Amino acid sequence: MDQQSGDNSPGPSNNKPSDGKGGDPRRRNLGTMIILGVVGFALIMWMFYSSPSNYGSTVPYSFVKQQLEADNIDKVRFQQEFMTGEWKAVPDSAPKGFIGKLSKKFNTVLPPERMHDNEFMSDLSKKKVQIESTPTAVDNGTQLLIWIFLPLGLVFILWTIMRRSSDPFSSGGMMGGFVRSPARRFEKNDKAATFDDVAGLKNAKQDLQEVVEFLKTPKKFTKLGAKIPKGVLLVGPPGTGKTLLARATAGEAGVPFFSINGSEFIQMFVGVGATRVRDLFKTAREASPCIIFIDEIDAVGRVRGAGVGGGHDEREQTLNQILSEMDGFQQGETVIVLAATNRQDVLDPALLRPGRFDRHVTVDKPAREGRLGILKVHSRKVPLADDVELEVLARTTIGYSGAELEKLVNEAALKAAREDKRTVEMVDFLYAQDLILMGAPRDEPVELKERDLTAWHEAGHAILAWCQKGMDPVHKVSIVPRGRALGVTQLMPEKELYNVGENLLKARLVMMMGGRAAEKLVFDEFSAGAEDDINRSTRLARRMVASWGMSEAIGPVAFRQSEEHPFLGKEMHTSREFSEETARLIDMEVQKIMHEAHATALQLLKQYRAKLDALAAALLEAENLERDEVANILGERPFDTSEDG
């Protein structure tokens, strides 16, 4: 997610596609369809209103004669063989065979011998019936011409639309709006994002600065024979600001920016995606110099010819067209293709080779200074109280992405708004931080025994984090149900680690086993509440043995556990790279590490049993204990904290 406020996104320009004929083909197609609709509607309405059957009840001619003799006809109107009129009073009895109820108006068909019956006209005059005559709008010959030429006209209009292009999938053809690239175009404006709007990501901005310079002054590079990379791939976890970084690159260079998602190329019809790619690159060449940004390129750029549904399907044809278009750039065309993904491992090797996406920019989670900058960006429009310290928040949000930091500020503002505050206070940020890390509290009653079990379980985690060297300090302990957990023990890292040693990993395993060991020590039973602890610790122990070589019995050998999925473009069949005996040995080593961690946890909890009981009792009373409260109960840590780590 972008690390910026809403005002920094560039506005879309008026980039309506043109077919080279001085207009928008989509508008012309729409106009043609409107004309056809109006003509068809007019024809239907003419047929409807031209029928005399729409003027009251249809009665036999003989019944009209009877009513004329009874002097019950007020006025009539003749239109060829049709006669319509109105009764003076609606007849009490309907003619034989008439179904329904007679209305004030009536219509009938004159018999051929009565159409020019002077006697009938004389009777109408005697009864002083008002006689009207309407000339026929069209005669039989005209009606015949209408029924012949109207369908021919409709066919001619449809044929004209279809013949505008011999290729129905071309940009000006009948399906032009369907296969045209849906890329959104952004122009340089006052609100365009720049590198100043991208907090952190210092290394990534430095890598992209060369692209900006090339777009501004391409001759500086071309006169020395240098070639700028055609494609730049932004790789990083979700929410780290890859899209914002691409927009900022275009904003810095002041060039048009075409943005599209990889999934927008794909349609159910084979060939549509490739046509959209051609249309996108054609439009980009016309707007050169410019930037094309393909977000989530892994949706269309996965490995070809492997996995379920391989072969030449629509996705592969689209990818082939992208590869072909990137090879087709001429020397003078300053078009840069930026792409973003968080799944670089599933991309086709042809995309990553030199000449295509040959420059990879890593967009990782921000460090402390970067987090501070991101918090400042997102809190620019948020009124902060005097007690809010963004530096403290930046220091205590290790591992947060830009999107999570944006959510932190937003959740704090939402809480302050719900409580009708004028400013956002530090307590609101702490609430938002707990909400992100632990989830929202659940308002449901908990049985007394479960509450006791949860209190000692979480106290066991906290004690083993407190008494082991290298472990992060306890930030908060809670037995309030949150999310799917009945309790949470939250540690707060004080420094950012990029490499972890074996001793610290084993200490973490002991801490994970602390809840289960406390249950056994106090209640002499195990509960199902330790399921997540066991799963996470088992995965960690297996990686220690099979990936990191932290086992004397196995040694420094990596035994790859296949995690490739055919639905992500990988091979369906993967052979195991070790024997059954080795697999058994790995399982035994994992079990050994887990048993040692559990035994160590049980031993340490027995050693600090008094502090365990005191912390559990405080939890049962207060339900939530903050860092200072935990420190007051446990006291000084049993080692020199100045040498920790």
Assigned token pair, 463: 């004690």
Averaged pLDDT, 230-236 = 88
User: What is the distance between the alpha carbons of residues 496 and 485, in angstroms, rounded to a whole number?
Assistant: 27
For every residue of 405-424, DSSP letters joined together read: HHHHHHHHHHHHHHTT-SSB
HEC profile of 386-403: CCCCHHHHHHCCCCCCHH
Tokens at 312, concatenated: 């030449």
Q: Is the pLDDT of residue 626 over 90?
A: no
Residues 392-440 have pLDDT tens digits of 888 888 888 888 899 999 999 999 999 999 999 999 998 898 888 777 7
**In the predicted model, is pLDDT for residue 259 greater than 70?**
yes
Q: Which residue has the tokens 């122009």?
A: 187
Contact 590, 541 (CB under 8 A): yes
Q: Report pLDDT digits (tens) over 211-221.
A: 888 888 878 87
Is residue 191 very low, low, confident or very high in pLDDT (cuts 50, 70, 90)? low
* Alpha-carbon separation of residue 577 from 169, 343, 396, 560 (angstroms): 49, 24, 42, 7
Task: Check: CB of residue 521 under 8 Å from CB of residue 602.
Answer: yes
Q: Is the pLDDT of residue 18 over 60?
A: no
* 19 or 119, higher pLDDT: 119
Is the per-residue pLDDT at 536 higher than 80? yes
- Give pLDDT, residue 113: 62
| Digit-coded pLDDT (tens) for 152-162 | 777 777 776 66
Q: Is the pLDDT of residue 19 over 50?
A: no
Quick one: pLDDT at residue 328?
67
Q: Rounded to an integer, what distance in angstroms lies between the CA atom of residue 367 and that of residue 399?
A: 8
Q: Which residue has the tokens 């590490």?
A: 593
pLDDT of 508 reads: 94
Q: What is the pLDDT of residues 159-181, one digit of tens each?
A: 766 665 444 444 444 445 555 66
Residue 642 has pLDDT above 60, yes or no: no
**Interatomic CA distance for residues 407 and 585, integer angstroms:** 45
Q: Is the pLDDT of residue 182 over 80?
A: no
pLDDT tens, position by position, 515-528: 999 999 999 888 88
Residue ranges per structural domain of the chain: 6-15+180-362, 25-49+140-177, 52-133, 368-438, 448-643
**Whether 424 contacts 416, CB under 8 Å:** yes
Distance CA 181, CA 17 (A): 9
Question: Which residue, among 370, 181, 379, 159, has the nearest Cα to 261 in the 3D structure?
Answer: 181
Count of CA atoms in the C-beta half-sphere (13 A) of 12: 9
pLDDT beyond 90 at 225: no
Give dist(CA 314, CA 316) in Å, integer: 6
Rounded Cα–Cα distance for residues 531 and 516 (Å)? 9
Pick the closest to residue 202 from 338, 361, 24 (CA basis).
361
**Residue 116: band (very low, low, confident or very high) from pLDDT cuts 50, 70, 90:** low
In this prediction, what percent of the chain has a pLDDT beyond 70? 76
Token digits of residue 487: 């309790």
Q: Is the pLDDT assigned to residue 319 strictly greater than 70?
A: yes
Reported confidence tier of residue 21, pLDDT bands at 50, 70, 90:
very low
Q: How would CATH label the architecture of 448-643? A: Up-down Bundle (1.20)
Q: What is the pLDDT of residue 141?
A: 57
Residue whose structure tokens are 């088992």: 538
Q: How far apart are CA 281 and CA 324, in angstroms?
A: 11
Residue-level length of the chain: 645
Q: What tens digit of pLDDT does each residue of 449-462 get? A: 888 899 999 999 99
For the segment 527-548, the average pLDDT, to the nearest whole number, is: 91
- Token pair for 73: 């006809």
| DSSP helix/strand/coil, 586 | helix
619: three-class secondary structure by DSSP: helix
Q: What is the rounded average pLDDT for all residues in the chain?
A: 78
Cα dihedral sign, 477-239-8-229: positive
Closest by CA to 301, choosing from 335, 331, 337, 268, is 337
Q: Give the right CATH number for 6-15+180-362 from 3.30.70.1290, 2.40.110.10, 3.40.50.300, 3.10.20.10.
A: 3.40.50.300
The closest alpha carbon to 302, from 257, 244, 251, 341, belongs to 341
Structure confidence at residue 289 (pLDDT): 82
- Name the nearest CA neighbour of 601 among 507, 523, 488, 531: 507
Catalytic, out of 314, 316, 458, 519: 458
Find the mean pLDDT for residues 337-366: 85
With a CB cutoff of 8 Å and minimum separation 6, the contacts of 46 are: none
How many C-beta atoms lie closer than 10 Å to residue 460's C-beta? 31
317 and 275 in contact (C-beta within 8 Å)?
no
What's the CATH fold of domain 52-133?
A: 3.30.720
Q: Is the pLDDT of residue 330 over 80?
A: no
CATH number for region 368-438: 1.10.8.60
Identify the pLDDT of residue 6: 37
Q: What's the sign of the alpha-carbon dihedral 482, 483, 489, 491?
A: negative
Whether 571 sits among the annotated catalytic residues: the reply is: no
How far is the C-alpha of 536 from the C-alpha of 514, rounded, in Å? 13
Across 193-197, 312-316, 410-414, 420-424, least confident range: 312-316
Q: What angle do CA 379, 383, 384 make, to 5 degrees?
A: 80
Q: Cβ–Cβ contacts within 10 Å for residue 527, how many?
A: 17
Here the tokens at position 626 are 């903050």
Distance CA 282, CA 183 (A): 12
Pairing of the two strands 105-109 and 82-87? antiparallel
Listed in sequence order, the residues at least 6 apart from 56 whose beta carbon sits closer than 8 Å to its beta carbon are 84, 86, 103, 104, 105, 106, 107
One-letter amino acid at 165 equals: S
Q: How many CB atoms lie within 10 A of CB 149?
A: 11
Comparing C-alpha atoms, which of 431, 394, 426, 397 is closest to residue 411?
431
Assess whether pLDDT exceeds 50 at residue 14.
Answer: no
Q: Average pLDDT of 598-621?
A: 93
Beta partners for residue 317, in sequence order = none
Residue 316, pLDDT above cutoff 70: yes
- Helix residue ranges per DSSP H, 98-241: 118-126, 140-162, 176-179, 202-216, 219-222
Of the listed ranges 212-221, 338-347, 390-399, 463-472, the least confidently predicted one is 212-221
Count Cα neighbours of 549 within 13 Å in the Cβ-side half-sphere: 4
Dist CA 590 CA 113 (whole Å): 109
- The CA distance from 320 to 325, in Å, is 9
| Arithmetic mean of pLDDT, 589-597 | 94
pTM of the complete model: 0.63
Could you tell me which residues come within 8 angstroms of residue 571 by beta carbon, excluding any fewer than 6 positions away? 306, 307, 564
* Whether pLDDT at 571 is above 90: no
98-108 pLDDT, tens per residue? 777 788 888 88
Backbone angles phi, psi at 341, to 5 degrees: -160, 155
How far apart CA 617 and CA 487 sit, in angstroms, is 15
Structure tokens at 264: 């927008």
- Residue 537, pLDDT > 90, answer yes
Assigned token pair, 95: 């003619």
